[in-house]
A = this chain, B = another copy of it.
Amino acid sequence: MSHGSLDRLALDDDARRRLRFLVTALGLTSVTRVNRLLDGSRGETSAEHSWHLALAAVVLGAGTADGVDLAHVVAMLLVHDLVEIDAGDVPIYDAHARAAAAEGEERAAARLFGLLPPEEAEEQLALWREFEAAESPEARFARALDRLQPILVHWAGDGAAWIERGITEAQERELVAVVEEHWAPLAPLASALVDDAARRGLLS
C-alpha cells in the first residue's frame, strides 16, 4: 500500500486544488479545545465547534440579529478556525498568548486558503480577515457567538472543564463583556448562563 497523492488523480488542476484544501481541512478534527463534550469523553474538536457555531448563528440569529446576513456569518464561521491546523488553538482566557499567535495565524491563513484556486483563495482569506477584524455587523455577531458558545458548552457539561482548570467567575464575566461589546442582544443569554454557573458553584 502506497501513500495517497492527489497529484496522481485523473483530475484538472482546479478540482485537485479544491480536494487538497478539503483534505487539509480535515486536520481541524485533530485540534482539541478545552471544552469537554457533553459525555465528558474528550475535548471538543475545533471542527465540532465550527459546526455548532454555524448552527448557533442560524438559531440565535433568527431571534437577535435582524438585518444581518446570516449566510455570510455562517460562511465566516465555517472557516474561522482553520488556521488552527497550523497554529493550534489558543484558549480564550490567555490574552497574551492570543496576541503572540496572530503572526503565526496570518501565515497559516496564507498557506491554507492558498491551496484553493486563486480567486477563491482571496475570497476565503477575506472572510477570515473580516472575522478577525470584528468590524462588520456579520463579523461582530460571529465574534459574539464565538465567545458565547464555549460558555454554553461548559454550562451544559456541568462546568467540568471550568472546575478542572479553576476558571473564575471574573474570567467568565469578562467573556460576557466581550459578547456585550460585539453583539449586545446576545449578552443576556451569556449572563444568564454565568449567573446560573456561579450560583451552582461551578466557577472559582
Chain A contacts to B: CB under 8 angstroms? 1-4, 8-11, 14-15, 18-19, 21-23, 25-30, 37-39, 41, 44-45, 47-48, 50-52, 54-56, 58-60, 62-63, 71, 74-75, 78-79, 116-117, 120, 152-153, 155-156, 158-159, 188-189, 192-193, 195-196, 200-202
Q: Cα distance A116–B60 when bound, in Å?
A: 10
Q: Is the interface of A mostly helix, strand, loop or mixed?
A: helix
B59–A120 touching, CB < 8 Å: yes
Interface contacts beyond A10-B195, A58-B75: sample of 4 additional A-B pairs, CB < 8 Å, sorted by A: A15-B188, A26-B153, A30-B39, A48-B51
Copies in the complex: 2
Q: Cα distance A30–B120 when bound, in Å?
A: 33
* Minimal Cβ-Cβ distance residue in B for A37: B29
Q: Cα distance A60–B120 when bound, in Å?
A: 11
B29–A38 touching, CB < 8 Å: yes
* Residues of chain B within 8 A of A189, CB atoms compared: 11, 15, 19
A9–B196 touching, CB < 8 Å: yes
A52–B74 touching, CB < 8 Å: no
* Minimal Cβ-Cβ distance residue in B for A53: B51
